[in-house]
Amino acid sequence: MQEISITRATVLKEKPTDESKLGFGKIFTDHMFLMDYEEGRGWHDPRIVPYGNFSLDPATTVFHYGQAIFEGTKCYRRADGGLQLFRPKDNLARMTRSARRMCMPALDEETAYEGLVKLLEIEQDWVPHQEGTSLYIRPTMMATDVMLGVHAAKHYLFFIILCPVGSYYKDGLKPVGIYVEDAYVRAVRGGTGFTKCAGNYAASILAGQIAEEKGYSQVLWLDGVEQRYVEEVGAMNMMFAYGNRIVTPALNGSILPGITRESVLTLARQLGYETEEGRLAIADIFEDAKAGRLTEAFGTGTAAVISPVGELCWKDEKLIIGGGQIGPVARKLYDTLTGIQFGRIEDKNGWVIRLS
């Protein structure tokens, strides 16, 4: 482990007073963690410094060829005031997997984790208190060579920034309507779908915008070859309940392996549900829902944890699932997983790390 230097901000920002208006990703804390990489030297100079701008040459490679990856996890405040993390090391390990695909260096996960813990110690008062709120953690890695040749860069910057975020469900767990995209695709076999790279998001924004214009909150992506099989939603994996059986698309290289997905599958089995990973045709989903066999649909991801889907629209056919209401499976999994994250329910899987 490397020594982490700390430079404190001399002036601290005003913390938000109304925690019901935090929103997502708009307010940032007083400090950030940085670490540099150079080929032949490795990761070095880990440091916590006042939050602030970067100064980068316009020819910096990340602006042109997009070697950029990120992660997302949260710090939760328990009812007793203490703080805890949920599987943060899995996020750092996933960043290393993303890095390999993008020809970026494996993260020094140990130093990054120590940096995160130290940063949170300094910023602990920024973790909001109101029910359902949390401190969102955004680790990012990008290429910082100054050159326009197209190859893997030799210099990289890793940083972690933090932002207090509001409760995803201010008015309780609410089902969303989702547009099944049949023109654009998010990822293809052999591509970067399994990574959290910036480019995946850039490529998805247009379809998201069109879906929003049609009144849907997000896009459900189908496979990039035949556009017949369900992949995932924007930043959530998809699950479908057939009574007490939960099915989800198997990880095939084009789907992002969500940490929430894996946690929900594990918890579901522990709660007595059957789980199955496979290839799910969208036509079968529609048929099964219409026949009443498919009883619930929901997304899983760090932001919302569980997001019930009340309506799917595919090629102009609208499908109402579970009467447009939240079903018992989604409810149970949401209550259990958020209970563990906020320290209300005992964590029997070793997922939670208590900081204080």
Residues that bind ligand PLP (CB under 6 A): 72, 196, 232, 235-237, 256, 258-261, 300-302
Parallel, antiparallel or unpaired: strands 305-314 and 73-77:
unpaired
User: What is the distance between the alpha carbons of residues 100 and 104, in angstroms, rounded to a whole number?
Assistant: 6
Closer to ligand PLP by Cβ: residue 133 or 200: 200
CB of 119 to ligand PLP, least distance (A): 20
CB of 158 to ligand PLP, least distance (A): 18
Instruction: Identify which of 204, 195, 114, 98 has the alpha carbon closest to the alpha carbon of residue 156.
Output: 98
**Is the CB of residue 186 less than 8 Å from the CB of residue 204?**
yes
Closer to ligand PLP by Cβ: residue 235 or 289: 235
CB of 237 to ligand PLP, least distance (A): 5
CB of 6 to ligand PLP, least distance (A): 29
CB of 320 to ligand PLP, least distance (A): 24
Contacts for 92-98 with beta carbons within 8 Å, 24 or more apart? 92/139, 94/196, 94/257, 94/259, 95/69, 95/70, 95/71, 95/139, 95/141, 95/196, 97/194, 97/195, 98/69, 98/194, 98/195, 98/196, 98/197
CB of 280 to ligand PLP, least distance (A): 16
Closer to ligand PLP by Cβ: residue 232 or 288: 232
Q: Which residues, in sequence order, are bridge partners of residue 296?
A: 241
E strands, 133-235, where? 134-143, 155-165, 176-180, 218-222, 230-233
DSSP one-letter code for 334: H
Identity of the amino acid at 276:
E
Closer to ligand PLP by Cβ: residue 31 or 261: 261
Distance of CA 105 to the CA centre of its chain: 21
Closer to ligand PLP by Cβ: residue 144 or 195: 195
Closer to ligand PLP by Cβ: residue 201 or 242: 201
